[in-house]
Amino acid sequence: MTDHIKITECPRDAMQGLHDFVPTNIKAEYINLLLKVGFDTIDFGSFVSPKAIPQMRDTAEVLSRLDMDNTRSKLLAITANYRGAEQAATFDEISYLGYPFSVSETFQLRNTNTTMEQAFDEIKRINELCTARKKDLLIYLSMGFGNPYEDKWSEEIVLHWAQMMINEGIGYIALSDTIGVAQPEQISSLYPVLKKLSDITEFGVHLHSTPDTWQEKIAAAYEAGCSKFDVALKGYGGCPMAKDDLTGNIATENLVAFLLHQNVPLDLDLDKLTEAMEFSGKVFG
């Protein structure tokens, strides 16, 4: 367990699947509120094909409207290929580039139109770009606890690919429960072994859950020594391939309540957090 917790708020993950386009000014106002809360990182947008994720087609415009002068939060943008990474890397305000690498071949093909081996080659190129542009690359190990395609999954597969990333000097890895199938026992077993692979790489979790299973997953990760969590206000977002429609991101307010109950000091402006929660109705309806 640890008393120093980093929280990544994920409005991008929460918004990207919405059918109706959220106006740019509403996105920017919402994210500006989140920047005042004091999260370690804001996963604010993505540089991907507008045909693939039309909701994120205005990421650059949203970025131009963000107030980065009065926040300690860093910005994270998602990219699915080198071209998107090049675009994201041109913005000084962005600290992290995130890339979804799946330990399921089927999902990698569906998500980025590449095989796992091709995606790994892309990661090596993007990592070189990040080094040159002074950005940090974060790799999501998607489908990290299983997949719905009957692709083979095991802890050994996850650890193999994590080690491959570490060997390339990747500084940040997020173990991702993409479809919300992780059991607390899996988290308790896998995370500590993953963390032992490197003293330099920082490991976090991006967990999805139903409203009644979030606490056991967060508790398992926390007790296993995890100090970096991805969440989204009110649990919006998630993966559309999850079997349960109630499966989504773990709600930020739930994680905060859990950590406060554990007497973990959180340097967050809880009033701004409440304000952002109230404003979220304008974003998500």
CB-facing half-sphere around the CA of 37: CA atoms within 13 A: 27
Q: Look up the CATH number of domain 6-284.
A: 3.20.20.70
| Contact criterion met (CB below 8 Å) for 14 and 237 | yes
| pLDDT value, residue 103 | 98
Domain limits of the chain? 6-284
| Contact criterion met (CB below 8 Å) for 270 and 38 | no
Cα–Cα distance for residue pair 238/242, rounded to 1 Å:
8
| pLDDT value, residue 247 | 83
Please give the share of the chain, as a percent, with pLDDT higher than 90. Answer: 93
| pLDDT value, residue 285 | 83
| pLDDT value, residue 98 | 98
Which string of DSSP letters, residue by residue, matches 237-272? ---TT-SSTT-EEPBHHHHHHHHHHTT------HHH
* pTM of the entire predicted model: 0.96
Cβ-count burial of 10 within 10 angstroms (0-12 exposed, 13-18 middle, 19+ buried)? Answer: buried
Sign, Cα dihedral of 73, 162, 198, 127: negative
| pLDDT value, residue 170 | 97
- Stretches where the chain sits below pLDDT 70 are 1-3, 240-246
Closest CA to 236 of 18, 35, 7: 18
**Parallel/antiparallel/unpaired status of strands 94-102 and 136-142:** parallel
| pLDDT value, residue 101 | 98
Q: Which two tokens stand for residue 18?
A: 């919405």
| Contact criterion met (CB below 8 Å) for 268 and 37 | yes
